[in-house]
Structure 1
Amino acid sequence: MSKSDTKPERTFLFGPFRLSTSRRVLFEGDHVVRLGSKAVEILIALVERAGELVGKRELVGMAWPNTHVVEANLTVQVAALRRALGEDESANQYIVTSPGRGYRFVAPIRVLSEDDPDASEPLARERHNLPAQLTRLIGRAETLQAVTRKLSDERLLSIVGPPGVGKTAFALRVAEAMIPQFQHGVWLVDLGSITNASAIPSAIASALPIEVRSSDILSGIAAALRYKNLLLVFDNCEHLIDGAASAVSALLHGAGGVKVIATSREPLRIEGEDVWRLAPLDIPPTDAESGNVMNYPAVQLFVERASAIVNDFKLTESDASFAAQICRGLDGNPLAIEVTAARVDAFGVRGLASRIQDRMHLLADTHRGKPERHRTIAAALDWSYQLLCEREQYVLRCLSIFAGSFTLKAAIAIIPESGIDDPAPIVADLVCKSLLSVEIGFDDMRFRLLEITKAFALTKLVEKSEREAPTRRLASYLTTILRECAESPDRTRSLQTAVHELDNVRGVLNWAFAPGGDLHAGVELTTHAVPAWLENSLLRECIGWTSKAIDALDSAEEEGGRSEMILKAALGLATMFTEGMTGQAKNALNRSIELAANLNDERWKLRAQLGLIVFFHRRGDLKSALEATKAIENFSAGINDPMAAAMTKSVKSASLFFHADYPEALRLAREAHEYFRTHRDASQIGRWGLNHSVYAQCVIARTLWNQGHFDRTIQACLSAHAEAEESGNPASICQALSWCGSSLFLQLGELDRAAEAIKRLKQVAQDGDFQSYFFSAMGFEGRLLFLRGDINLAERLLREALSRLGDLQYENVYIPFLGRLAELLATDGRAEEAFLASAEALERTKATGALWLLPDSLRIHGEVLASLEGSDSKSAEAHLRESIEISVKQGSLGWELRSAESLANLLTRQRNFNEAADVLARTVRKFERSDAIAYQRAAARCA
């Protein structure tokens, strides 16, 4: 057929689409719409005769010339066309069916002419050989844009990543998106099935529509492509890395219009290479809310693949956290997620989450229709493993004992001396081969094995009976590192950063305390991990491991040694803050004190004694607290340690506050805090079990309120909160929010500030599993609701808090909440119930010697008596007058104002107006006018 007889090559524009008849390609914007060749021919036939009815037989003849097919084939192809064009009931229609006759293209079109292509150019007849992608790419949109932009400027881009991360799928999407940019097409060269580098040139020639007659195939290919503009995709280069690098280099040098994308587990390492490390999909953090997990690509992929297995699969809110757990356990690895999601029909989402630890078993299912090495994550890992030399395999196996991230120093330390002379270069090579990932953002670079890679390598380690030696070396290394952190001049910061080693500590301890493990190594490591657990408020974990270590002492070493002393002190402190003031906590602290005395370890004796005093404070055993404080005062002075003296002043100030000696308590607390202000590392918890700087500030704030300095109280509270938050320590934050935040803001009537403090206290306490603080927050919330008028909910919260705090024996908080319940009941008209509560609160106050609470307990009981017996109750008036008298003796202007107001109200109801006014006036005159907030609030009460 002559050229004049052929139809002119044109481009048709309709809607967002562009149809090129010369290229036989449909574009939507800049993206190629994937269509089969038959569908393209049918679309061209309809568009060229837009508006006309094109019969079915005619269309069949155009799409299947010289072939007999049934009309159903045409129906299927038209349906595919409609899907590709986005047609549905609501969308604009492009193709209209004439039943029984044919089809008509009805959308408006615009026609552009095209230059005739050169029929002698074989590359112009075809545009690509990319396989159709059956699934959509999830979570890579931004990366796709970034890579395509980068490839516009670069000639060689290697997409590198670990097994299963989706390098091939991503590279194909990049290549597909770039088809319009290359005049002579985009061509895939898959090296996955090639076992010998000598076959690479033939594979390239086979992928391209060119003829090579040269005996030097690679040179012939370069010559054929010299004046072409095309993109080559070299997939799966890792097992032929040197051969692939040589071939790519030769083509880039020989054909200036050629660009290359290469996928590999490691870079090609040739001139001009730009490397893009493809990261796993983003996963939800552990604290992500269930409603937000679908925002993360890893979960989106899991849901999409699960939906392909189970037709009616929906991710419910109750299952969302389990799906997030699965994706975290698989490190966001797409292949691992796909393979795991394929088993949702057998186990369900929760069942898969419970089995995620057994990754190698879970990930062994096959994925039909893919190359063997891509069917299971285990096969993909084995593919990479077999490409390593023996030394690299050995180092990878040894590194699998790290449960978390690790430094290069740690990696070198755990390789047995008889194994590898210098493991550092091998570690670097494993990073290049994408079997190790590098974590950025640390002072010291840290490495990590993906969980699935770790499980695979650990299986190999166990199979070869090699686990014991590197694990023992890791135990020794971690013990040394933790000891250095605790002894560092910058102890607080060192112990906070030591949290990065705790995953590895857990892994070693699981081995050490298991049957056949090393109990002695477990005890040693636990002992040295204590400061890190305390400093980072990992108290539940501290209890668990110290209990195991204490149980192992009989087998590991003689009881009565240094390890038992430290372990018992840690157990006592951690138990006190989590499980309450139990006998176990008290006995553990006393045992630690006893051992420290036997070992002449003065500092550990002081640490345990300080902890015991705090225990007495919280238990409400204030007499014992004061006695213990006096006992260590001379002792701490005797060891000539300014830090110890400041700690002693801190706890003594609290003891004196609880005994209502406010001037001396304030003096000592200020002296202690001044020391900590100039020695910021001194109050760290890892050595002392408590942030004594925050502790002293709480005493300052509470004392200022009692003395009637309300404005300074607010500033002191905010200062304590700020220091606690700056420390980042959850226990310190809870301490500040509970003792001088929530409670004092409520007493000051700063309800909005109180609400914020209570919310933060609940959050931190719940996250840290601090039961005493969490139920304290519940009680504070009950008080806040009462002050805002919601009596029913307030009562439920107060009663729940009292029940739980009673179980925890947290007497110092229990008594005030019991008084608040009494006030609520009296307000609600239940005077008899209120009487029982207020009487018990007053009795407990006297029994514990809590003089700081005595004025308020007397006031509350007096008010309840008035509600029960009437305004003429002599007993009620006597309690209120006693409350004022004791407040005056203590110098507690805050309580005096409360009690004066209550007495004035009672006298007013007795119609004794003059005395009522005098009672309030005497108290208000004691407030300094310079304390604006205090004076104004006192005067307002008087009015």
Structure 2
Amino acid sequence: MKPNGGLLTGGSSFIGRRRELSTARKALTQGRLLTLTGPGGVGKTHLALRIVEHVRGMFRDGVAVVEVGTLETGELLEPAVAAALGLHDTGPDPMNALVDYVSGKRMLLVLDNCEHLCVICGRFVDRLLRAAPRLRILVTSRQTLGVYGERVLPVRPLPVPDPGRPPGEIARHDSVRLLESRMAAVLPGFSLAADNAHRVARLAQRLEGVPLAIELAAARLRTMSLDQLLRELDRPIDVLAADTCAAALPRHHSVRATTDWSYGLCSPGEQRLWARLSMFPAGVDLDTAESVCSGDGIDAADVLDLLAGLVDKSVVCCERRESGLRYRMLESLRAYGGERLASSDKDLLRGRYVDHYGDLVRNSRIDRLVPDQLERYRRLQAELPNVRVALEACLSRPPLARAGLDIASTLWCFWLLAGSLIEGRYWLERGLGLVPEPGGIRATALWADSMLALRQGDLMRALPRLGECLDLARRPGNEAVLPYAIRTAGVAAFSSGDHERGLSLLRESLALHRSGENLDGVMLNLYYAAAYGSVGHPGQAAEFGEELLDMSEKHHAQVSRAYAQLALGVVRWNLGDCRRAEALVTSAAVFTGAVDDRWCLTQCLEVLAWIAGARQDHWRAAGLMGAAHALWQAMGASPERLWYHAAGHERCREQARGALGGRAFATAFRQGTRLGQERAVNYAVAGP
């Protein structure tokens, strides 16, 4: 778990807040829930990040951060927290899985920007704290959660000086130090001196020491002098809409007023783009901004210049990533932009937004035999908050429901690999409730929902959906869905204990995909046939696995290759070929450990434990089982629930316990659970 977890903090360095840092540390030592409250722009998120850095050592099981502000609905809170904790398989009830996981952990959970889901967050936090006595939770919100035991730390503006005091005294105030830092960023060489200290103090006073207001105002010094800026701040500018004027305070009395002022100084095109960018909680790249935000007052060719203007004004942050530049806004500025987004703009953007992310999802499918599988997966991870906005836009408007259901279905493989089964089913089942027509879109969603339910072990919900899917797939016009429906029925048969029928159905689906020359379908069928057939039919499973490995290597499909190696490794193990099994699974472990694919990695550690046991290295086997156990637990899963793992797991455990004795086995196992993911991979691939 990474301590920052994606918190967007803007460009300012951290200045001051020593009292708050000390108070927060004490509060998290003495209490279990600390809420940082204050208006937007006062620096709650930035302070939370610094608190994490200061208290990290108190939490041996780590820190997890969830950006609640990017969640569209309360139903996504539990899956989002589960994902942040690395729980890839929570079953049908993520809350129970979360409670089980955190119950014995000494860790810190940070929930950032909770105000729009305050009641839901309160209930959620209360349940977790009751179940996990060592858990601590840090919340940022414009209002308190109202949970018993909640400690509240108001985050106030930075102290401001009296402009009439001596320059040395003025310089000691944190608001002045922040202003000096931000002014030096836009005016290289600037420093506080006797001839400017009083004016800087006046500026800090005008801005009331609010960090966001300081950021916005300092950015204007690129185009005006300090004296001009002070005059500008003193001049009343009415930029508020009529329905918000009554709520506005004088300019120098609120961060809202400073934001209004900054908005008013933007060009009409910058104002319009600011409002339109508010639709993107995960930010955008230039191509997306040009595609979705242009039109009706913004030419596509002008978007780059408008973005540059907003970056110069500190409204937008420009982040450099491997995939290129990405533009984001602080949550308070994004919320402000949303208020300024006109209804006509919303209607214009909604269709473009849905079309854009529908195309992105279709072009980023990871159930394809292509060389860029990993890049597609990472792209979807980065864009998920924006995709959620598209899904919500579709499923809250019946005319767009079919498009939303299609997007949710297309993401089925992403939901699986990301461990976002609850979220995937949430969108699918909402869409299925809105799209009753018995066409291909509904049929596809039915097998996708069934597959996710089967992965959760939820046969009661999977089988009726699958039955309807099979019925629809056999109707004229829906024939293309039939191979997928039959494949899902094969997985369901295995899950129900009917392994012969399961393998027969997978063969039938495979034949249909081959006849249709659908290599993507063939790839997935080969994986399921190799993995599920590895125990009862290892000879046939080996043929499926070898073909899958050959296909994956020929098409340079790295993710598919790792899963092929895992499945074939289990097959070779069951055929008694330990040397080949170890080579295959070790290679898969190295790759999946590097890309943080915990589902595949955990199975690799499990199989490598069996191989160590077969070599009579039972101490190593117990350690690897412990390392795998920690990851199984984190995902809310277990090897006993996988048909092709259960017998090998039980045999390895009993042999190691018998050879070492109960106490030594427990010691080795416990040491393995404490390795952590990176050290576990190193231990697994180091060899005996």
- On whether the aligned pair clears a TM of 0.5, the verdict is yes
Of 588, 592, 595 in structure 2, the residue corresponding to residue 720 of structure 1 is: 588
- 1:871 is matched with none
- 1:457 is matched with 337
C-alpha distance in 2, partners of 1:605/1:520?
Answer: 20
Q: Deviation at 1:654?
A: 4.4
- 1:588 is matched with 465
Q: Deviation at 1:788?
A: 4.6
C-alpha distance in 2, partners of 1:706/1:597?
Answer: 37
C-alpha distance in 2, partners of 1:654/1:130?
Answer: 71
C-alpha distance in 1, partners of 2:316/2:457?
Answer: 44
Q: Deviation at 1:652?
A: 3.7
- 2:133 is matched with none
- 2:156 is matched with none
Contact 1:581 1:615 in 2 (8 A): no
- 2:363 is matched with 484
**Residue 427 (str. 1) matches residue 307 (str. 2):** yes
**Residue 526 (str. 1) matches residue 408 (str. 2):** yes
Of 219, 225, 243 in structure 2, the residue corresponding to residue 244 of structure 1 is: 225
Distance 1:410 1:381, change over 3 A: same
- Amino acid in structure 2 at the alignment position of 1:588: R
Percent identity over the alignment is 18
SS in 1 for 2:583: helix
- Amino acid in structure 2 at the alignment position of 1:389: S
- 1:620 is matched with 497
Contact 1:237 1:244 in 2 (8 A): no
C-alpha distance in 2, partners of 1:791/1:234?
Answer: 60
- 2:172 is matched with 133
- Superimposed CA distance per residue, residues 705-729 of structure 1 (whole angstroms, 9 cap, x where no aligned partner): 4444444443333233234435643
Contact 2:429 2:449 in 1 (8 A): yes
Q: Deviation at 1:465?
A: 6.8
Structure-to-structure mapping, 1:514-663, within 5 angstroms: 514=396, 518-554=400-436, 559-577=437-455, 579-598=456-475, 604-641=481-518, 644-645=521-522, 647-654=524-531, 656-659=533-536, 661-663=537-539
Contact 1:496 1:536 in 2 (8 A): no
Distance 1:610 1:528, change over 3 A: closer
Distance 1:376 1:415, change over 3 A: same
- Amino acid in structure 2 at the alignment position of 1:510: E
Gaps in structure 1 of 5+ consecutive residues: 1-125, 148-155, 161-166, 195-232, 249-261, 266-360, 367-371, 685-690, 798-932, 935-943
C-alpha distance in 1, partners of 2:489/2:609?
Answer: 25
SS in 2 for 1:657: coil
SS in 2 for 1:574: helix
Contact 2:405 2:445 in 1 (8 A): no
C-alpha distance in 2, partners of 1:389/1:488?
Answer: 47
Q: Deviation at 1:699?
A: 4.5
Output the aligned Cα RMSD: 4.8
C-alpha distance in 2, partners of 1:621/1:669?
Answer: 21
- 2:347 is matched with 468
Distance 1:527 1:647, change over 3 A: closer
Q: Deviation at 1:475?
A: 1.2
- 2:185 is matched with 159
C-alpha distance in 1, partners of 2:307/2:625?
Answer: 49
TM-score (norm 2): 0.57
Distance 1:640 1:420, change over 3 A: closer
Contact 2:592 2:600 in 1 (8 A): yes
C-alpha distance in 2, partners of 1:374/1:573?
Answer: 57
Q: Deviation at 1:770?
A: 4.7
SS in 1 for 2:332: helix
SS in 1 for 2:553: helix
Q: Deviation at 1:447?
A: 0.9
Of 581, 593, 597 in structure 2, the residue corresponding to residue 729 of structure 1 is: 597
Distance 1:723 1:774, change over 3 A: farther
- Amino acid in structure 1 at the alignment position of 2:225: A
Q: Deviation at 1:497?
A: 1.4
C-alpha distance in 2, partners of 1:548/1:465?
Answer: 27
C-alpha distance in 2, partners of 1:772/1:234?
Answer: 50
- Amino acid in structure 1 at the alignment position of 2:350: T
Q: Deviation at 1:435?
A: 0.5
Distance 1:546 1:420, change over 3 A: same
Contact 1:129 1:188 in 2 (8 A): no
Distance 1:785 1:436, change over 3 A: farther
Q: Deviation at 1:484?
A: 2.3
- Superimposed CA distance per residue, residues 225-273 of structure 1 (whole angstroms, 9 cap, x where no aligned partner): xxxxxxxx9995556764429999xxxxxxxxxxxxx9x99xxxxxxxx
C-alpha distance in 2, partners of 1:241/1:132?
Answer: 22
SS in 1 for 2:431: helix
- Amino acid in structure 2 at the alignment position of 1:771: A
- Superimposed CA distance per residue, residues 401-449 of structure 1 (whole angstroms, 9 cap, x where no aligned partner): 1121112222233336323234502222111111011121132321111
- Amino acid in structure 2 at the alignment position of 1:583: M
Contact 1:437 1:449 in 2 (8 A): yes
Distance 1:630 1:385, change over 3 A: closer
- Which structure would you say has the larger Rg? 1
TM-score (norm 1): 0.43
Q: Deviation at 1:128?
A: 3.9
- 1:353 is matched with none
C-alpha distance in 1, partners of 2:639/2:284?
Answer: 34
C-alpha distance in 2, partners of 1:455/1:395?
Answer: 14
Contact 1:694 1:736 in 2 (8 A): no
- 1:189 is matched with 199
- 2:541 is matched with 665
Of 260, 282, 289 in structure 2, the residue corresponding to residue 411 of structure 1 is: 289
Of 748, 751, 771 in structure 1, the residue corresponding to residue 637 of structure 2 is: 771
SS in 2 for 1:771: coil
Distance 1:620 1:744, change over 3 A: farther
- Amino acid in structure 2 at the alignment position of 1:545: W
**Residue 508 (str. 1) matches residue 390 (str. 2):** yes
Q: Deviation at 1:388?
A: 1.9
Distance 1:512 1:434, change over 3 A: same
- 1:391 is matched with 269
SS in 1 for 2:341: helix
Q: Deviation at 1:580?
A: 0.6
- 1:674 is matched with 550
SS in 2 for 1:440: strand
C-alpha distance in 1, partners of 2:529/2:221?
Answer: 73
C-alpha distance in 1, partners of 2:478/2:324?
Answer: 34
C-alpha distance in 2, partners of 1:376/1:469?
Answer: 32
Q: Deviation at 1:782?
A: 7.2
Contact 1:695 1:735 in 2 (8 A): no
